[in-house]
Amino acid sequence: MKIAKIALYAVALPMKEGAYSWSNQSFAAFDSTVVEVTTDDGQTGYGEICPLGPAYLPAYAEGARTGIMKLADSLIGLDPRQIGSINLVMDRALKGHPYVKSALDIACWDLLGKATGQPVCNLLGGRVQDSVRLFKVVSRGDPDAMAERLQAYQAQGFNQFQMKVGAGADLDIERIRKVTAVLESGNKLAADANCGWMQHEAVRVVSAVNDMPLYIEQPCETYEACRVVRDVSNHPMILDECMTSLQTVLTAHQDRAMDAVNLKISRFGGLTKTKVVRDVCAELGIIMTIEDTWGGELTDAAIAHLAHSTPRELHFQSSAFSEYATVSIASGGPVIADGFMTASEAPGLGITPNWDVLGQPMAEAS
């Protein structure tokens, strides 16, 4: 089995609720890229990369597509089942840019699953969770509207939530107080600033809400500033955007800077490298959120398979982005019900692209 063709598809993912807002950013739709890897015996594997706009992380949609085509010539003719070798070739051909490599890596895992007749979660460690706990995002907005939205999500069966803050310390204090006031007993809530607070703002906010039952997630852009906030807060701390490598995760663990870590698959370069970080975190007893920046059913499937193979006691939560979008890019994605998702048991990721939505490829290499 050799890679014979790599094709790219671009698709817009509009938001059901009109917009998705966090920190100081807001988008009505996200630009996603689907990768199709076809082998010389006619097998196909699929992956997806969807940066959260161009100013969230060092990643953007056009860059992903350019980078993937840059890598394509190096991958044609290789065996996609040799995923370690695939990653070595990508790293030698393109230094850095892990988000570019993520969709290609995921597509190779999809092909490996199909070639072995196994769902991807079996290959990532086994299906040790029957279902994957989800969190629901409460998009940044008016404090009263955010509280109403949380109540609606609780009525849908969700019991873990991430409220978006990071745009005005005084208003964020009000947002946190109003949302936590309607949080049902036993449910969990994180206030996620997505790097949006300056250190002095974050200190003000956490000091003002020290009596509220919530987690604080990535209050500031740098690890050093988050560490200062950790020292003045009595809330559990989740680190996300500044956790860019296994080394940064190990440093944060050694410094006791976090109580949980958010692992985004594309930030590490795909399932292969995220699995390494996941396994180290599991060995160290670090609680993990497993997700990605954004995406449709393909991204959801990759998230679900990695989370399914993570012990429940170490898995804090995951996200399912397809439920926020007005279009479906694939069938066979994880089934979402009562605050959980369950991935297909079919070989590979278990998905079939919706070609009516994806249309024709925007670029191909063979």
Q: Is 164 considered catalytic here?
A: yes
Counting Cβ atoms within 10 Å, is residue 78 exposed (0-12), middle (13-18) or buried (19+)? Answer: middle
The H or E element that residue 258 is part of is: none
> Alpha-carbon distance 24 to 143, whole Å?
15
| Helix locations, the chain, DSSP H | 61-75, 83-93, 98-116, 120-123, 143-155, 169-181, 199-208, 223-232, 246-254, 265-268, 271-284, 297-308, 355-358
Q: What are phi and psi of 237, to 5 degrees?
A: -110, 130
| Residue range 206-253, pLDDT digits in tens | 999 999 999 999 999 999 999 999 999 999 999 999 999 999 999 999
Task: Name the catalytic one among 101, 136, 178, 264.
Answer: 264
Question: d(Cα 98, Cα 248) in Å, to the nearest integer?
Answer: 15
Marked catalytic residue, from 164, 178, 273, 275: 164
Distance CA 102, CA 35 (A): 10
β-bridge partners, 37: 6, 45
CB 229 within 8 A of CB 223: no
Q: Average pLDDT per run of 10 along the chain, which is 366 residues long?
A: 98 94 91 98 98 94 97 97 98 98 98 98 97 96 96 95 95 97 97 97 96 96 97 96 97 98 98 98 98 98 98 97 96 95 98 97 97
Residue 95 known to be catalytic: no
> 89-145, pLDDT tens digit by residue?
999 999 999 999 999 999 999 999 999 999 999 999 999 999 999 999 999 999 999
> What does the longest C-alpha to C-alpha distance in the chain come to?
62
Is pTM, for the whole model, over 0.85? yes
CB 140 within 8 A of CB 165: yes
Structure tokens at 276: 């390494």
Residue whose token pair is 């795909």: 270
